[in-house]
Amino acid sequence: MEFRLIYEGPLHGQGAKSAHKWAIRRALHPQLERLWQSSPLREAAPSLLAHPARPGAVSVVVEKGGLLFAPLVTQRLKLYAEVSVLLFRRQARGALITDGGDLDNRLKTLLDGLRVPHGSLEGRVELPSEPDPSPMFCLLEDDSLVTKVTVESEQLLRPAQPDEVVAIIGVHVKRTVLTPDNLAL
C-alpha cells in the first residue's frame, strides 16, 4: 500500500516540545482518517478499529491514558513502513545544517508526530481547546517500524516563517509476513 500525506506548518528542530508533536498529529489525523474510509482499508476497518477488540480479532486501537489511537502500521499486523519526505522550507537548497536547517532534528520531530505518543500525554502540559479525536488516527504505532527514510529538501518559494514547511510524506507500507489480518493492506 502506498500513499502520500501533506503537512503544512511549523516544524521545529532540536528541543521541539511535545505540544508541537501533538499539533503535527492533529494536522495529519484527517488525512489518515480519510485513508481508513477508503478502499482497501474500509473493508477491514470495522474489525481493526474495534475497541475493545472483538473476540478472535485483531484491533489496532491503542489506549494511552484514556485517549484512543489508531495507528495503521503496527507490529500486531506485521507491518512496517518506508517513508520519503519532500521538504519545502524557506532556506535555500543545500542549507541543511545552518540558517534554520537542522534537518535531522526536524525530521525526528516529524517522525515523532507520525507515531502514537509513548506516554498518555507525552509531556503535554496543556490540553487543547478542542478535545482530541477519538480515536486519533496515526501512521505508526512506533517509529521503530520505519525501516527506510529518504529526505529531499527544496526551497519554499512563497512567503513563510523561518520554521514553516510544506512536507509531502510518501509512505510505502509493507508486510513482514502475510496474515489474514493484513491481507487487505
* Pair 119, 15: CB distance under 8 Å: no
Q: Is the pLDDT of residue 5 over 60?
A: yes
15-41, pLDDT tens digit by residue?
667 788 889 999 999 999 999 999 888
- Average pLDDT over the chain, rounded to an integer: 87
67 versus 124: the higher-pLDDT residue is: 67
126-145, pLDDT tens digit by residue?
666 777 788 999 999 999 99
- The sign of the torsion formed by the CA atoms of 126, 129, 133, 137 equals negative
Q: How far is CA 116 from CA 14, 96, 143, 152, 157, in A?
A: 20, 28, 9, 25, 32
Determine if the peptide bond prior to 40 is cis (ω within 30°). yes
**Mean pLDDT throughout 90-107?**
68
Reading the block at residue 180, the C-alpha cell is: 489474514
95 versus 83: the higher-pLDDT residue is: 83
pTM listed for this prediction: 0.88
- How does residue 121 score in pLDDT terms, banded at 50, 70 and 90? low
* Pair 124, 22: CB distance under 8 Å: yes
Q: Is the pLDDT of residue 177 over 70?
A: yes
The domain spans of the chain are: 2-175
- How does residue 149 score in pLDDT terms, banded at 50, 70 and 90? very high
**Pick from 151, 122, 131: which is nearest to 62 by CA?**
122
Q: Is the pLDDT of residue 87 over 60?
A: yes
* Pair 152, 87: CB distance under 8 Å: yes
**Mean pLDDT throughout 145-149?**
96
